[in-house]
Amino acid sequence: MKKNKVRKYLVPIIVFLFLVWGFFWPMSNYIEGPGDAADLSQIVNIKNHPDRQKGQFMLTSVGIAQAHPFTYAWAKVNPYYSIVSADSVTGGQNVSEYDKVQNFYMESSINEAIYAAYKKAGKQVKRTYNGIYVLAITNNSKFRGKLKVGDVVVKIDGHHFSNANGFVNYVKGKKLGQTLSVEFKRNGHLHTVSAPLVKIANNRAGIGITLADDMQVKPEIPINVNPGDVGGPSGGLMFSLQIYSQLINQNLRHGKKVAGTGMIDSQGDVGEIGGIDKKVIAAKRKGATVFLAPYIKPTKLILKYEEDHETNYELAKKTAKKYAPNMKVIPVTSFSQAISKLQKLND
């Protein structure tokens, strides 16, 4: 009798513990899968320039979450989910550093999109160079512990330059072990630190940081862009299309849900991104019938270094053919080309 009672309570407890383990036990890997496809008219707000056109421009994203035993097993059998290491996601950075970098990439993509769209629309916009943003610091850098990810270097040895190349070229002229003075901004406050240069790539002297230009744009017509929790640089193309269509009040979508992805620079050139197959799935789930994909010519050298040895456009087209056969995938190399192809959607 007692054995039956023990078995009666023990089995549910074991099942409960198994479920807790399966759903909540954290693993060292991460799962990447389709994220969201958000309506950009809810994200971009331009003073006196509402979105009056039918359809949507959609910002696509990749969903990333820490793996648990059950989600790990699900990702193993699901073709458009991927199991990746923590380092491949964060680049070896801690959560705080990773978030700062992703937020910087997002802010930069928004700034570049604003600049490109306003210029294309013939609206006034100013572009200001703040300095070099610290994306990462090497382990051998003598500035490690003095500089942090998220700092903005504004001067080196008292010199300010108009772009990152100016800073890089100045440091190139220095010798290994030579002390350098760096003035930087952190949380709105200026600080100055000094340290000797170390050996970096190509056996030359350097500070030992990964950097990017920190730019700020100020358009004549006020704009607010709130992407929420989405980070990274891949939304540039879609931001620029949404902003441009609102500024000129032009029917670019023809009532369709148009999704897409791609980095954009101040010249309007579109660059490749990661996880485009997952973004196609996310777009399909939200009803998109058109997807804009970055395009580069698939040469042997390029394919050697591409994700799965396929260009963004090739992977997007293959994914849509299999999982979203009614979706039209359009290759684009520039913001201007994207506008031109959208204008011909109904042709």
Mean pLDDT of the 206-235 span: 92
Active site residues: 234, 279
Chain-wide mean pLDDT for the chain?
91
Question: Residue 291 pLDDT > 90, yes or no?
Answer: yes
State which CATH number among 3.10.450, 3.30.230, 1.10.390, 3.40.50 fits the domain covering 29-92+223-343: 3.30.230
Give pLDDT tens digits for 258-267. 999 999 987 8
pLDDT of residue 345: 84
The yes-or-no verdict on residue 1 having pLDDT over 60 is no
Residue 125 predicted with pLDDT over 90: yes
Q: Could you report how far apart the first and last alpha carbons of the chain are, in Å?
A: 79
What would the mean pLDDT of 36-63 be, rounded to a whole number? 95
Sequence ranges of the domains in the chain? 29-92+223-343, 127-216
Architecture field, domain 127-216: Roll (2.30)
